[in-house]
Homo-oligomer: A and B are copies of this chain.
């Protein structure tokens, strides 16, 4: 298949998955682990979140594996376990591999105890939080996850970053509608979104998103990237980000705040990111079918609410991403030319054939 002449390429998810898996395998990651990493990065692309997909993360994950900053063959293991809780040590492995293991533990513990909470240390950037939630909802459970991240956000009133844009994510199964999935950064927007805007050549961001490096409000993409993000809803987002930091890193003994290793730097050390994962068995509180029916009623009633002018439809959290995935699975995943060329170059250096593009 030859590349189309337009500035946008369309990649088939399946072949992008093959490409991504082979890149990681070429760096010493096992087939099983490379498949998990590829699933996460391609799922994010399918959901329209390139900021958590191949387009942003392949390059930096490769660099971290090549430099030895991230362990390609981690011994991910349970370091402590009591009742419905566990402490998982990621042995400095890729965050997707560590998180997939930890959520698996969370689901098994919730099967036995009805509820579980797994704290994780010695992990790395774990990509899209949503990825892990599917493991829980497929087991008929409510799933929960948080992660800390290198400092990009000041405490409310501060002018130096301390907290990451610490996401929290929660998914709930329903009946005919399917899972409802909330995956939100506790900043107004995720920094990855601004990084991707920069990569696409955009110059400005809306006011209220970020401060510059001196702590002044800015609408300049570059000033924002060298500055810091603002928490959503002011002190409320600060409070949520702080709680995410505590649940992810203070509980598990991972690094927190400025002690965390950078994703784009600190190649001499692991990041020591912390995560949390929880699962809750809805059948512990009554028949599962009755719960799923109530969920479908909730969704139907919310969708029937009269809309504000200019609003076409009331959406559930995660609905846009799910629709995007359904479309991109058929139409292919759009990649800007420079981004496609960059990932091809990465593959070339490792002897991996580029992902096929679809005819324009």
Contact = CB atoms under 8 A, between A and B. Distances in A.
Contacts of A236: 184, 232-233
Interface string A78-122: 001011110100000000000000000000000011111101000
A253 B157 contact: no
A156 interface: yes
B85 A307 contact: no
B317 A162 contact: no
A172 B84 contact: no
A133 to B, nearest CB: 12
A284 B109 CA distance: 14
Interface string A51-83: 000000000000000000000000000001011
Contacts of A139: none
Contact of A83 (B117, B156, B284): B284
Interface string A200-241: 000000000000000100000000000000001101111110
A158 B80 CA distance: 47
Interface string A136-156: 000000100000000000111
A67 to B, nearest CB: 28
Interface of A: 80, 82-85, 87, 112-117, 119, 142, 154-160, 162, 170, 172, 180, 182, 184, 188, 215, 232-233, 235-240, 242-243, 245-247, 250-253, 256-258, 278, 280-282, 284-286, 290-291, 294-295, 298, 301-302, 305-308, 311, 313-317
Q: Name the 8 nearest CB pairs between A and B, nearest first.
A: A85-B114, A83-B113, A232-B233, A157-B311, A83-B114, A158-B305, A239-B317, A85-B284
17 contacts: A83-B84, A83-B112, A84-B84, A84-B113, A84-B115, A157-B307, A158-B308, A159-B307, A172-B246, A239-B317, A242-B302, A250-B294, A251-B282, A253-B285, A253-B294, A256-B294, A258-B301
Given A85-B113, A115-B278, A172-B243, 5 more contacts: A82-B281, A154-B308, A158-B306, A159-B308, A250-B298
